[in-house]
Structure 1
Amino acid sequence: MRPRQPSVSAIVIGASAGGIEALGALLPQLPADFAPPVIVVVHLRPDTPSLLPEVFAERCALPVREAEDKLPVLPRHIYTAPSDYHLLVERESAIGGSDDGAYFSLSVEPPVRYSRPSIDVLFESAAVAWRERVLGILLSGANDDGARGLSAIRAGGGETWVQSPASAAVATMPEHAIARGAADRILSLAEIGEMLRRVYCE
Structure 2
Amino acid sequence: MSPRILLKSHRTELVEKNSRFIGIGCISQSLNEFKLHKETIETEYADSNHVAFAYRILENSTPQTRFYDAGEPSGTAGKPILMHIEGNELLNVTLFVVRYFGGIKLGAGGLVKAYGNTARQLIQEASWADYIVYREIWLNLPYSEQNRLEYLAKKHAIDILERRFSETVLCLIRIAEPELEPLKSRLPNTWIFTAVKVE
TM-score w.r.t. the length of structure 2 is 0.29
Is the strand fraction higher in 1 or 2?
2
TM-score w.r.t. the length of structure 1 is 0.29
